[in-house]
Amino acid sequence: MHNSYRQAKFLLSCPSLKGCPNDSGYEVIFAGRSNAGKSSAINTLTEQKKLAKVSRTPGRTQHLVFFELENDRRLVDLPGYGYAKVPDSVKQDWHQNMSQYFDNRKCIKAAILVMDCRHPLKPFDQMMLEWCINSKVPVNILLTKSDKLKKGAASSARLSVMKAVKDSPSINVQLFSSLKKEGVPELCTYLDKIFEMSNEG
């Protein structure tokens, strides 16, 4: 199938809402706890080995990173946290920056919330979900590292997450593996719908 995300290019990175690109077009954000597999998922989606930096020093890079697609569409890599060693001051800054970004940015069309399929719905993930639900941003929960589980266990992990979020509208749950390149077409289809790619020639 055609993967239009291959053309993603680094646009800019900035520490807060201030340096973001103009609030126009369509943005899909990628969020997840550190080590969930978010950078790997972005690299797998875009078929680029080093577009998103894998295994950054936790808590060090608190930048929003924007990747440009065609026609004013962007993928945004949000800084993650989740390690105990991230200092409280960094977490506070993160909260402030993220709530500003969420509350003010109209071009956010969806969120890809990346979770390790073996450890889903941690407090960070619940907080992100709540944020998205309150801002009416649809979410695709990407249960990644699915290669770490047997097929049956992976699909029950997916079912139990689906059950946990069933009362919230606009939440999709899918399995993904960067190692095995599984779940890529499903993610592309989800993004195409959000970006309304199918409406264009």
31, 140, 178, 195: which one contacts ligand GDP (CB under 6 A)? 178
Is residue 80 a contact point for ligand GDP (CB under 6 A)?
yes
Stretch that binds ligand GDP, among 62-70, 104-112, 122-130, 144-152 (CB under 6 A): 144-152
**Residue window 26-55: x/- pattern of binding to ligand GDP, with contact defined by CB under 6 A:** ------x-xxxxxxx-------------xx
Q: What is the dihedral of CA 146, 150, 155, 157, to 10 degrees?
A: -70
* Residue whose C-alpha is closest to residue 11's, from 51, 42, 39: 51
- Cα(92)–Cα(23) distance, integer angstroms: 24
Is residue 186 a contact point for ligand GDP (CB under 6 A)?
no
With respect to ligand GDP, which residue has the nearer C-beta, 33 or 73? 33
Q: Report whether 142 contacts 187 (CB < 8 A).
A: yes
Is residue 158 a contact point for ligand GDP (CB under 6 A)?
no
Other Cβ atoms less than 10 A from the Cβ of 60: the count is: 10
| 66, containing H or E segment | strand 64-68
Q: Which residues bind ligand GDP (CB under 6 A)?
A: 32, 34-40, 54-55, 80, 144-145, 147-148, 177-179
